Amino acid sequence: MEFRELKIPGAWEVTPRQFSDDRGVFLEWFKQDVFIEATGQPFELVQANWSVSGEGVLRGIHFADIPPGQAKYVTCVRGALLDVVVDIRVGSPTFGQWDSVLLDDLSKRAVFIEAGLGHAFFSLDNDSTALYLCTSGYNPKAEHGINPLDPQIGIAWPHIGHTGRPLDPVLSDKDAAAPTLKEAHEQGLLPSFRA
């Protein structure tokens, strides 16, 4: 299992070693001791989520209040997702910047996102299935969003899916109505880098 820190501090791409033979494939997609060695912190699992998305579905940018915050460990077990991490921590040297990792059922990569970072993903296939482990449970009063199409952030969302068809992002009403990064900052919704 290899960890590579993304350009956003607090986010890592995780590439597992796959062992295949005529029976199929085996891999460890999470291992606590290796995780601690790479990130310097344990992962305290509280909730596990399963999400299935059609081609072109865009979910996020989501984040939770700190404390307690919500760190996530995300993988894609079917199809493909462009997984995006956005630094929304006020005072961070990389505030407003983003990085991405292609998660799919071939590479079987995962992404770890520390609490306080924004998270979104874009489905590149029909029935793309994400599994993610979370360090806190869903709390609607402490959950927030930023519009994933905010031009200030400028995420380069794909225009073509794996089927070769053009893609127009499909957002929930809540994500489409979410504030921009600037508006979320002005409303005091964003976590601080120090927290």
Q: Would residue 138 show up in a list of annotated catalytic residues for this protein?
A: no
Sequence length of the chain is: 195
CA angle 145, 147, 148 (to 5 degrees): 110
Rounded Cα gap, residues 127 and 144, in angstroms: 25
CB within 8 Å of 92: residues ≥ 6 apart: 9, 193
Name the catalytic one among 73, 119, 132, 144.
Answer: 132
Rounded Cα gap, residues 191 and 142, in angstroms: 12
Closest CA to 144 of 170, 120, 169: 120
Name the catalytic one among 62, 73, 119, 144.
Answer: 62
Q: Would residue 119 show up in a list of annotated catalytic residues for this protein?
A: no
- Pull the structure tokens for residue 99: 């990085």
Q: Which amino acid is present at 181?
A: L
Which are the catalytic amino acids? 62, 132
